[in-house]
Structure 1
Amino acid sequence: MNGYQITFFTRQDRLHGGRPLAEWLLHLAAELGLQGATLIPASEGIGHDHRLHSARFFELAEQPQAVMMTLTTEETDDLFQRLRTENVHLFYTRTPVEFGSIGEPGTQG
């Protein structure tokens, strides 16, 4: 299949609807019936404010996070429409990809 790899970049302390934004994105992916989403914590990153954000002991709230999804064009359109409806401000990348599965479910290689 062809579609897009979408990666959203945020921080642990950013909230939407009273919950961490990255967690909210994961729940949104499930709600929309998307094939999956992955939360990737990072140790450091430079934000849009040009400041270094890191996962230091006293600054865990500023830990950079990325949420990655691989979607069809239709799923991408649905997701972005929902984000606009929710008025979510979020930096993202959208990269065209080919994706699929190989092998039988439940087998190990």
Structure 2
Amino acid sequence: MQGSFLRFYVNAAQQHHGVLLWEWLLDQGSKLGIRGGSAFRTIGSFGRRHTVHEDRFFELAGSSGIEVEFVVTRDEEQRLFDLVRLEKIRIFYTRIPAHFGVINPDAQDPAGEATED
């Protein structure tokens, strides 16, 4: 299948509607029917203000970055972007074209996900 590898970069403490933004993104991805998503805590990061954040000290807990990743079809990507726009969330992301599939799919895998490589 053809699609995209999406990665969103958020602050660990950033919230949307009272929920941590990384959790909200994963929940919304699931509700949109995206097959899976993952969130990863960074050990160090900096953003547009060029302030380095590290998860070393207790008093800095929650100031590091979280990467939220999805591998999606074009349709899934559009629905996720439309939702983020509708919710007026300012968020930095990367999008990389991706070819993906399942080797040895079973009956629960959606049709068309079998890899031909």
When normalised by structure 2's length, the TM-score is 0.85
Q: Which residue of 2 aligns with 1:82?
A: 83
Partner amino acid, structure 1, of 2:35: Q
State the shift of 1:103 in Å: 2.5
Give yes or no for contact 1:47–1:53 (8 Å, CA) kept in 2.
no
2: distance between equivalents of 1:43 and 1:79? 27
Q: Which residue of 1 aligns with 2:46?
A: 46
Give yes or no for contact 1:41–1:63 (8 Å, CA) kept in 2.
yes
1: distance between equivalents of 2:47 and 2:69? 18
Partner amino acid, structure 2, of 1:91: F
Q: Which residue of 2 aligns with 1:14?
A: 14
Q: Which residue of 2 aligns with 1:29?
A: 29
1: distance between equivalents of 2:74 and 2:38? 19
1: distance between equivalents of 2:93 and 2:63? 18
Aligned residue pair count: 105
2: distance between equivalents of 1:10 and 1:61? 11
Partner amino acid, structure 2, of 1:73: R
State the shift of 1:48 in Å: 1.7
State the shift of 1:104 in Å: 4.6
2: distance between equivalents of 1:65 and 1:3? 23
Partner amino acid, structure 2, of 1:97: A
Give yes or no for contact 1:55–1:64 (8 Å, CA) kept in 2.
no
Percent sequence identity over matched residues?
A: 31
State the shift of 1:61 in Å: 1.1
Greater helix fraction, Structure 1 or Structure 2: 1
State the shift of 1:60 in Å: 1.1
State the shift of 1:37 in Å: 0.5
Partner amino acid, structure 2, of 1:41: R
When normalised by structure 1's length, the TM-score is 0.91
